[in-house]
Amino acid sequence: MSIKKSPWIIHYDCSSCNGCDIEMLACLTPMYDLERFGIVNTGNPKHADVFIVTGTVNTQNIPVVKQIYNQMPNPKVVIAVGICAATGGIFRGCYNVVGGLDHVIPVDMYVPGCAARPEAIIDGIMKSIDILAEKQAALDEGVVPEEICGGYIYEGEHDEHGTLITDEDADAAEEEQDVGATPDQEEQE
């Protein structure tokens, strides 16, 4: 199966100290040579099978993470690399940090470490290829993509805690504003 022999990866660094990002890039150098397993690094989500995320997800980068995920074709797998991507790590609890990557998109594999070692990252990618192959087999059997790949992730607005603002929230906020408006303001509207 070609997807198993040569999966393409896309990598996004959310923030944090960049340590895991550097280790991820080390995997692509001749020293660790991820390409020897047939793995190709791409900058285009539409060409990628494996989404590798390092760093903490925060309110600024949620839309980027979701957009990359949504643009990837099915089947796809997601790997959270490092403790920041898994839980928020040492930045957990900061005003703009959401927590782990799985608050935002479905995650298939967690690679531990602070920073995650290149050997562990490569191991995680190799294991994720089996998951990718399983998802491909399920799709071939007619399972709908939403059941195994999470489907389209709504990209809407988020509040300062990273929580998605639903239509109901927006309506409630509008009503609240209307209650506080003076008759002159209402007239202007």
Answer yes or no whether residue 122 interacts with ligand SF4 by CB under 6 A: no
Radius of gyration of the chain (CA): 20
Upstream peptide bond of 45 is cis (omega within 30 degrees of 0): no
Please tell me the distance from the alpha carbon of residue 86 to that of residue 97, in angstroms, as a whole number: 12
What is the phi/psi pair of residue 24, to 5°? -65, -45
Binders of ligand SF4 in range 12-31 (CB under 6 A): 16-17, 19-20
Question: Which residue in the set 115, 125, 131, 132 belongs to the binding site for ligand SF4 (CB under 6 A)?
Answer: 115
Q: Which residues, 6+ apart, have CB-to-CB distance to 172 below 8 Å?
A: none
Residues 38-77 that bind ligand SF4 (CB under 6 A): 54-55
DSSP 8-state secondary structure symbol assigned to residue 108: -
Number of residues that bind ligand SF4 (CB under 6 A): 13
- Residues 70-109: x where in contact with ligand SF4 by CB under 6 A, - otherwise, as a string: ------------xxx----xx-------------------
Q: What are the residues binding ligand SF4 (CB under 6 A)? A: 16-17, 19-20, 54-55, 82-84, 89-90, 114-115
